[in-house]
Amino acid sequence: MAEELTTYGFDVVAMDFRKYGLSHGPQRESWMHKDAEMMFDHVCEDYATLPVVIYGRSLGTGFATRLAARRRVSGLVLETPFSNMADVARFYLPMLPVKWLLRYRFRSDFFLQKVECPVLILHGTKDMVVPYRLALKLFQAAEGKAEVQMTTIVGGKHGNLSGYPLFREKLAAFFDSVFIFKGT
């Protein structure tokens, strides 16, 4: 996705979370959120005068939403997001008391209510990794927030949304509106 975002004229900084990609280290939700905050703060030192959009995909939406709630940003894009990790776990393990067994919470539904920038949610109806209904639940958690919009990609799966013209069209329109809105 980083390469695609450069076609919109952005510089892109991507982060591997602990135990993902080339990163290592113990995984604790609070530490991973702290990593995201430190990375964001470091990037903002170099781009202090420019608008910054946070883009989260799949598990990264849990980090992106919390970060956008805690930092001043121009926009937030959530691709294939979920409401919270307990809802995802219930999808995979409906008979277990997952709420009590979870190590990670990733409460995007809670943090989205605190986000003060424009938000675009993009999700496909055929996503078998993160069910579409969990993105709808996240969108409903933002009820009353005029700057949160959701785009449904009919037939879209977890890893192929960027192949849909509607996805690229909505993303481009969102970026245009964010930068017009911010006067940049």
Question: What is d(CA 58, CA 123) in angstroms, rounded to the nearest whole number?
Answer: 10
Is 24 part of a structural domain of the chain?
no
Is 4 part of a structural domain of the chain?
no
Is 10 part of a structural domain of the chain?
no
Is 80 part of a structural domain of the chain?
yes
One pLDDT digit (tens) per residue for the chain, 184 residues:
778 888 888 788 887 776 676 777 777 778 888 888 998 999 888 888 888 899 999 988 999 999 999 999 999 999 999 999 888 878 877 777 766 666 677 889 999 999 999 999 999 999 999 999 999 999 999 887 779 999 999 999 999 999 999 999 999 999 988 876 554 4
Note down the domain range covering 139: 52-181
Task: Tokens for 109, please give them.
Answer: 């539904």
Is 31 part of a structural domain of the chain?
no
Is 148 part of a structural domain of the chain?
yes
- pTM, whole model, 2 decimals? 0.87
Is 103 part of a structural domain of the chain?
yes
Instruction: List, in order, residues 6 or more apart from 107 with CB less than 8 Å away.
Output: 62, 66, 84, 85
Q: What is the DSSP track for the chain? A: -HHHHHTTT------PPTTSTT--S---HHHHHHHHHHHHHHHHHHTTTS--EEEEETTHHHHHHHHHHHS--SEEEEES--S-HHHHHHHH-TTS-HHHH-S----HHHHHTT--S-EEEEEETT-SSS-HHHHHHHHHHTTT-TTEEEEEETT--TT-GGGSHHHHHHHHHHHHHHHHHTT-
Is 141 part of a structural domain of the chain?
yes
Question: What is d(CA 125, CA 168) in angstroms, rounded to the nearest whole number?
Answer: 17
Q: Count of domains in the chain? A: 1
CATH number of the domain that residue 153 is part of = 3.40.50.1820
